[in-house]
Structure 1
Amino acid sequence: MTNRLANKTALVTGATSNIGRAIAVALAREGAHVAVHGRDAARAAEVVTAIREAGGRAESVLVDLDGSLAASRALAEEAARVLGGRVDVLVNNAGIYPAPNLADTDEATFDRIMSVNVKAPYFLTQAIAPGMVARGGGAIINLGSWIVRLGVPRGSVYASSKGAVETLTRAWAAELGASGVRVNAISPGVVHEESDSPHPGDVMMRGTPAGTSGSPEAIGNAAVYLASEEASFVHGIVLDVDGGRTGVAVIAA
């Protein structure tokens, strides 16, 4: 622990597994007091316990972030309450990944993806950013995806939702930057926890410089950087943490 985020508070949405969990753990490791958001009380409690046992500070916040204005406002209020009145770092990580093709996408699926992946972070940021502006600083980190820029033949609605998030990142950076609020995004490649079984996404990382899928901890480390003062001159970027998937020519093995 180097305490790069000492005296900071952070809300991480979708923090009960995989990337969100790793980000919450990484921020807490650097001294942040973290609100671990999720829908499952047991899973949120497990993350909170792990952080506390490692010497960090964490609380759970249980709200179904369904895209409604009411849910986003409720989460903002509850997070501020458990964190002592403010949120210094907001990580918009929660999302869903149904991946039907064009012909099989119904209206309900389309609306649900857009509600959870775009509306929810939009209205959560709307609820939290004014407090950051009033205090003269803060950091907002959105989660994009490599498939925004490198299309695959399924999941076009998910890809477009993440494209919207990356566009919002740049727009919010322009809107909020002069007030001291930095807004950036992370675009992960194929990332998953270690398993004895092959992951279906591993094939997409063949031929990349990394040559393999990434760990959730890699995304956690990137979030620490963007949340910290080390990134004080970084505004409106999408940081690719994807093993070179989008930036380097891929030759499938």
Structure 2
Amino acid sequence: MAGGAVTRFAPSPTGPLHLGHAYAALVADARGQMLLRIEDIDRARCKPEWEAAIFEDLRWLGLRWPAPVMRQSDRQAVYAQALAKLEAMGVTYRCACSRGDIRAALSAPQEGAAMIGPDGPVYPGLCRDKGIAAPDAAIRLDMARAMALLGQISFDDSGQDHAGRHLKTAPELIETIGDIALARRDLGTSYHLSVVVDDAAQGITEVTRGADLFEATAIHVVLQRLLGLPTPAYHHHRLIRDDQGKRLAKRDDARALAKYRAEGATPQDIRHILGI
């Protein structure tokens, strides 16, 4: 896929870009035509100054991208259309559970150890058959009904640790992923739904991202198949970690690109640090 792919870098403007972001952006740029997308559905945490800093950091690294830049905050109507299509297919239901309700259900002695999926503990299905109609409730994917329609799914990955074709069956996805949230009452969408809809809208042919998102890929392929959207190739690359082996996060300001730049580092220095 390298060279001819359409890739994307999709940061959230909730803090400074760090070395891990730099690596992800450089990988996306090296493997094809990189598009930029601002994932700002969480309006309470996203700030204009962080978005401006993203542009500054990426330009300093020497990266360029076509205009206009897609912003998820502009696309709520598109996500609502996707949700409506899934609802018409009968593969969603409304969920009124709080986080406390879910924790309590999973901690019951008869439940045993909770299965941990890409979104954390697998939802125990408390609202699946309740017929909740509240318009402000969360919306969940009924994985069993979805997989009854699809049978199984597959996708291709070229990342070092996940190279090859991956086949996922209905029993596996029901057990290990379960009924994930497609829309939260406070956001109107979710990462999983918006990323699938936006990748298709931007014509992304290869998704490059960190290996920590590999397990979420099955969710995205399920949604692609249900919505009639193309499944891109995937390239899950290595993560950039600190000296203790911990994955970098935005709270790691000591590794923020802006601080490296302020201390006199060059873009080539950053590439050297990252092993590029």
Q: Under a length normalisation based on structure 2, what TM-score does the superposition of the two structures give?
A: 0.34
Q: Which has the larger radius of gyration?
A: 2
Q: Which has the higher helix share?
A: 1
TM-score (norm 1): 0.37
